[in-house]
């Protein structure tokens, strides 16, 4: 998969341009902002398509749309004013793939692991994890549609080009996606430090698998934890609160790769 990174957040204002992109290339859209209170046919069609295509949309005040377009206008260094007509699409820094297609790619990956991120908010963490995952041969990443980091310039910088190569899927319901992966034969591993968690050095991951990493502050949501057949923890030799999610993911991927290439070691 090859995509093009953007040096700035890319916005597409206007009813007809947004409708056309929803119809022809919905995978290029990260989210859509619509003015509250509009009920014309074009807006209703946009919202209907968003619901059908699982594209995140937010109803906002006029002032919020005006601010977005003023930012776009400034970035164009004196270009003409941008009229939004009550709708602005924020474009993704890359095109997403379907979750089912991502699962089909896993057996071909050097390291048959998919990382799932449960509401990780920092784009730098997402980008760093993509960099590690791609470098170590991982298959791809899955993100929830809502409450996740925007894969824009910050994520692309942190990924050092990996986001342009790594398959990324978005799902409306992460817990349901994990259920379908388990039915397809994938082991599901969560991360945490609870009483039922297992030391990853004593309980290595069995591949192919989905490795689920949680929010920087709250960890995994309870509904996601229920879908994890095993909970793993990284043993810390010195007393320390926790590791950064990108650091923890890198350690777990490194251990999985070592076991995968030398299973009897």
CB < 8 Å & 24+ apart, contacts of 39-43: 42/15, 42/16, 43/15, 43/86, 43/87
- Domains in the chain, ordered, with CATH? 11-91 (3.30.1330.30), 99-261 (3.40.1280.10)
Band of residue 153 on the pLDDT scale cut at 50, 70, 90: confident
| Inter-residue contact 89 to 25 (CB < 8 Å) | no
Buried-exposed string 158-188: b where 16+ CB fall within 10 A, e elsewhere: bbeebbbebbbbbbeebbebbeebbeeebbb
pLDDT digits (tens, 9 = 90+) for 34-93: 999 888 899 999 999 999 988 889 999 988 888 888 755 544 443 333 578 899 998 877
pLDDT digits (tens, 9 = 90+) for 241-250: 778 999 999 9
How would you classify residue 111: left for phi > 0, otherwise alpha for psi between -120 and 50, otherwise beta? beta
pLDDT digits (tens, 9 = 90+) for 115-132: 999 999 999 999 999 999
The C-alpha atoms of residue 191 and residue 250 are separated, in whole angstroms, by 13
10 Å CB burial of residue 24 (0-12, 13-18, 19+) is exposed
Residue located via tokens 């400034």: 74
In this structure, of 6-10, 73-77, 251-255, 260-264, the range with the lowest mean pLDDT score is 73-77
Band of residue 265 on the pLDDT scale cut at 50, 70, 90: low
pLDDT digits (tens, 9 = 90+) for 162-198: 988 999 999 999 999 999 999 999 999 999 888 889 9
Task: Give the end-to-end CA distance of the chain in Å, rounded to a whole number.
Answer: 34
pTM (two decimals): 0.77
């Amino acid at each position: 998969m090859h995509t093009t990174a953007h040096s700035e957040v890319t916005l597409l204002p206007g009813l007809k341009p947004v409708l056309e992109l929803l119809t022809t290339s919905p995978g290029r859209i990260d989210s859509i902002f619509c003015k509250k209170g509009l009920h014309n046919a074009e807006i209703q069609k946009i919202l209907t398509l968003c619901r059908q295509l699982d594209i995140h949309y937010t109803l906002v005040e006029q002032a919020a749309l005006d601010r977005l377009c003023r930012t776009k206008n400034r970035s164009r260094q004196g270009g003409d004013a941008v009229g939004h007509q009550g709708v602005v699409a924020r474009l993704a820094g890359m095109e997403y793939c379907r979750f089912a297609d991502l699962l089909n790619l896993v057996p071909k990956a050097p390291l048959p692991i998919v990382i799932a991120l449960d509401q990780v908010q920092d784009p730098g963490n997402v980008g760093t994890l993509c960099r590690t995952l791609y470098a170590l041969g991982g298959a791809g990443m899955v993100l929830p549609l809502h409450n996740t980091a925007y894969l824009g310039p910050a994520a692309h910088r942190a990924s050092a080009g990996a986001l342009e190569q790594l398959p990324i899927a978005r799902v409306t319901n992460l817990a349901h996606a994990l259920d379908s992966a388990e039915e397809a034969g994938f082991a599901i591993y969560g991360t945490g430090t609870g009483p039922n968690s297992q030391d990853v050095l004593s309980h290595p991951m069995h591949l192919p698998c989905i490795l689920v990493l949680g929010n920087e502050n709250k960890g995994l949501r309870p509904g996601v934890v229920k879908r994890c057949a095993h909970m793993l923890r990284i043993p810390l030799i010195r007393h320390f609160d926790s590791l950064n999610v990108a650091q923890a993911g890198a350690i777990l991927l490194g251990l999985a790769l070592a076991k995968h290439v030398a299973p009897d070691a």
